[in-house]
């Protein structure tokens, strides 16, 4: 990811630091941001200067299992955190008021062989079979710091709605 910074004004950046004489015109150049596992490397290249490594003033949030799960759960708020399960139930088929069917939502994470990739698995399983097929859905996501990608899905949880 590269950014070009072209400022036309020249004014101090650190107004509160009387010893600083850095002007915005001194900062014309580019910024390169690289993800290195759980760290981020930021390289600034300034006009008429060599590359300089600088530490960003803000804390870069590390990418770990907790963050990978959080990225997936943003789109699936009914599912619990990693290693947890939530009991669910539904009314379906049969004479009024219908049959109550219990089930569970589960979240599981697996670390990939790649240091910045995780596999997050969401499972929705009902405690019932329909025509000997388990009413269960499983979605598997590959998660990196910049992307959540569905890599496989098996959707049979809707079988519970076919019970008569």
Give me the pLDDT at residue 56, please: 53
The pTM score is: 0.60
Whole-number pLDDT of residue 105 = 95
Domain positions in the chain: 2-53, 65-162
* pLDDT one digit per residue (tens) for the chain, 164 residues: 444 444 334 344 444 444 445 555 555 666 777 776 667 777 766 665 555 555 555 556 678 888 999 999 999 999 999 999 999 998 887 777 778 889 999 999 987 777 789 999 999 999 888 888 898 999 999 999 999 999 999 988 888 777 76
Predicted confidence at residue 63, as pLDDT, reads 82
| Cβ(98)–Cβ(90) below 8 Å | no
Quickly list DSSP for 8-57: ----BS-TT-TT---BGGGG-EEEEEEEETTEEEEEEEETTS-EEE---S
pLDDT at 1: 42
* Rounded Cα gap, residues 132 and 135, in angstroms: 9
Q: What is residue 158's predicted lDDT score, i.e. its pLDDT?
A: 81
| pLDDT at residue 92, as a whole number | 80
Q: How confident is the model at residue 130, as a pLDDT? A: 84
């Amino acid at each position: 990811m590269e950014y070009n910074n072209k400022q036309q004004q020249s004014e101090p950046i650190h107004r509160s630091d009387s010893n600083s004489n850095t002007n915005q015109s001194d900062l014309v150049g580019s910024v390169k941001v690289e993800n290195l596992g759980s760290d981020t490397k930021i390289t600034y290249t300034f006009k008429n200067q060599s590359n300089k490594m600088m530490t960003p003033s803000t804390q870069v949030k590390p990418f770990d299992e907790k963050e990978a799960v959080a990225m997936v759960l943003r789109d699936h708020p009914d599912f619990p955190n990693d290693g947890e399960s939530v009991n669910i139930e539904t009314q379906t088929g049969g004479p009024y008021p219908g049959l109550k069917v219990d089930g569970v939502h589960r979240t599981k994470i697996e670390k990939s062989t790649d240091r910045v990739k995780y596999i997050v698995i969401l499972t929705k399983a009902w405690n019932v079979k329909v025509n000997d097929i388990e009413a269960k859905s499983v979605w598997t996501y590959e998660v990196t710091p910049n992307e959540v990608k569905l890599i496989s899905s098996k959707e049979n949880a809707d079988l519970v709605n076919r019970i008569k």
